[in-house]
Homo-oligomer: A and B are copies of this chain.
Amino acid sequence: MTAGISAPDVDDLTAEAWRRIRSISEDPGVEAASHRVMHETGLTGGPMKALRFLPLTGSLPMRGLSARMGCDHSYVTSLVDTLEERGLAHRESHPTDRRVKVIVLTEEGRRLAGRVQRAYTTPPATFTVLSDAEVATLCDLLRKLDPAGD
């Protein structure tokens, strides 16, 4: 019976779940927060991206930043040049290996980087529609999908 309308196939549901995961992950709020910082500071996308990957405390070698960003080290040179010109970071020489230069955020750089990094890690407001139990269930299912963690 009810031959005309069939129950949703699991393949369809999987495709829908996948589409929604991609859709939700493109949170306009992240965009908006980044844009706000770019507008306030006049920074362009490259240096902004660097701010996302720089540690708020301590330091990181140039090489470490290119690894985190997944880009060439020559690009990091120009990125850190810009950050230094804006007074957001500076280079220091490595204490034991003099080939290495490490990047350290300034006070202002740390404030900005904090804002940018928070924009990327703060869940969108839409999550409040879920009950605590639903959040737990969702998290559990996502863990199964991505067992390696992160």
Binding site for B on A (CB under 8 A): 10, 13-26, 121-124, 126-127, 129-130, 132, 134-139, 141-147, 150
Question: What are 28 contact pairs spanning A and B, CB under 8 A?
Answer: A10-B132, A13-B132, A13-B139, A14-B127, A14-B135, A14-B139, A15-B122, A15-B123, A16-B139, A17-B123, A17-B138, A17-B139, A18-B121, A18-B127, A19-B121, A20-B142, A20-B145, A20-B150, A24-B25, A24-B142, A24-B146, A126-B145, A130-B145, A134-B144, A137-B137, A138-B138, A138-B142, A141-B141
A148 CB to nearest chain B CB (Å): 9
Set of chain B residues within 8 Å of A21, measured between Cβ atoms: 21, 24-25, 142
A147 CB to nearest chain B CB (Å): 8
The residue in chain B whose Cβ has the minimal distance to the Cβ of A124 is B18
Number of copies: 2
Set of chain B residues within 8 Å of A123, measured between Cβ atoms: 14-15, 17-18
Set of chain B residues within 8 Å of A122, measured between Cβ atoms: 15, 18
A132 CB to nearest chain B CB (Å): 5
The residue in chain B whose Cβ has the minimal distance to the Cβ of A127 is B14
A23 CB to nearest chain B CB (Å): 5
A135 touches which of B13, B130, B142 (Cβ 8 Å): B13
A101 CB to nearest chain B CB (Å): 30
A141 with B134: CB separation less than 8 A = yes
Q: How far is the CA of A122 from the CA of B147 in the complex (A)?
A: 20
